[in-house]
């Protein structure tokens, strides 16, 4: 969980501005669109769409934007046709990296991602080369001022969650993919507000990056990938000490 927690914390700290909000909306709209395309436009019968809508609401996306994205997916509105592709590779320090993309031009996307890996000293690998190092889990982010740890733990476990992990400024509620939506609904009814909800790839084990240049190159790679318009999510199994993070910042 450390790798996911570290990268999640970094992203939250670097992403709180309007320009990022625009990118976040773009990525969320694509996820809603393809979820509606593959599973239908009714969130009650489409768990992936429900998850995407929950994430969009967590970012305060207007309802009109969500509705338009669903209609694009169901074919009621025109728009670009996106393809889902997962890329896998190794970054600096031997860190495993998964890159979830949605693209209307896979040749452009793979060329850009390969360039990012090569520039950082890493390399893009074959399908399946690192995915086995991760488990897909549901995660909900709850600010510490929204609930006490004991209250959240009781509510989350009652709802069917697997664990609650404490971070610097928040708690992460961890669920299986199958119980994710049930936990979301339970916490909403229990008036526990959360700032993020998503299905993510959680590393089974982490690689500690101790060399400053490797850590700097790794973070630059992850940030470049996150900023790319075709990239939806980036997952990595690294851990960097708080002391080294302080030096890098």
CATH number of the domain where residue 37 is located: 1.10.10.200
Would you say residue 89 lies in a domain? yes
CATH number for the domain spanning 180: value is 3.30.70.980
Q: Does residue 215 sit in the same domain as residue 106? A: yes
pLDDT of res. 158: 92
Contact 209, 223 (CB under 8 A): no
Structure tokens at 211: 């060399």
pLDDT of res. 13: 57
Q: Does residue 228 sit in the same domain as residue 105? A: yes
Q: Does residue 65 sit in the same domain as residue 33? A: yes
Q: Classify 221 as helix, strand or coil.
A: helix
Distance, CA of 20 to CA of 23 (rounded, Å): 5
Q: pLDDT tens digit string along 57-106? A: 878 899 999 999 999 888 887 777 788 899 999 999 999 999 999 998 99
Would you say residue 249 lies in a domain? no
Q: Does residue 235 sit in the same domain as residue 193? A: no
Q: What are phi and psi of 29, to 5 degrees?
A: -65, -40
Would you say residue 6 lies in a domain? no
Q: Does residue 199 sit in the same domain as residue 141? A: yes
Structure tokens at 46: 């489409």
Would you say residue 248 lies in a domain? no
Q: Which domain holds residue 144?
A: 134-203
pLDDT of res. 58: 77
Q: Does residue 198 sit in the same domain as residue 140? A: yes
Q: Does residue 35 sit in the same domain as residue 16? A: yes
The total number of structural domains in the chain stands at 3
Give the side-chain half-sphere CA count within 13 A for 182: 12
Q: Does residue 128 sit in the same domain as residue 214? A: yes
Would you say residue 246 lies in a domain? no
Q: Does residue 119 sit in the same domain as residue 159? A: no
Would you say residue 7 lies in a domain? no
Q: For the chain, which residues score pLDDT lower than 70? A: 1-21
Would you say residue 57 lies in a domain? yes
pLDDT of res. 18: 47
Q: Does residue 143 sit in the same domain as residue 183? A: yes
Sorted by sequence, the CB contacts under 8 Å of residue 130 that are 6+ apart come out as 88, 89, 90, 96, 97, 98, 237
């Amino acid at each position: 969980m450390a790798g996911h927690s570290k990268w999640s914390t970094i992203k939250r700290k670097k992403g709180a501005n309007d320009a990022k909000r625009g990118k976040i909306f773009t990525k969320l709209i694509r996820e809603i669109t393809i979820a509606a395309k593959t599973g239908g436009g009714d969130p009650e019968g489409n768990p992936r769409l429900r998850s995407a809508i929950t994430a969009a609401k967590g970012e305060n996306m207007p309802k009109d934007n969500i509705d338009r994205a669903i209609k694009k997916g169901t074919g009621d509105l025109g728009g670009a046709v996106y393809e889902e592709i997962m890329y896998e590779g190794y970054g600096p320090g031997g860190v495993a990296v998964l890159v979830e993309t949605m693209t209307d031009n896979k040749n452009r996307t793979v060329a850009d991602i390969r360039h990012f890996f090569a520039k950082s000293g890493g390399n893009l690998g074959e399908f399946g080369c690192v995915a086995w190092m991760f488990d897909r889990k549901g995660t909900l982010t709850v600010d510490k001022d929204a609930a006490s740890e004991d209250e959240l733990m009781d509510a989350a476990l009652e709802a069917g969650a697997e664990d609650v992990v404490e971070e610097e400024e928040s708690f992460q509620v961890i669920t299986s993919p199958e119980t994710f939506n049930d936990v979301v609904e339970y916490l909403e009814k229990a008036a526990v507000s959360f700032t993020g909800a998503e299905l993510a790839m959680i590393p089974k084990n982490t690689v500690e990056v101790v060399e400053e240049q490797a850590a700097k190159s790794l973070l630059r790679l992850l940030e470049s990938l996150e900023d790319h318009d075709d990239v939806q999510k980036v997952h990595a199994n690294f851990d960097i000490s708080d002391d080294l993070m302080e030096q890098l910042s």
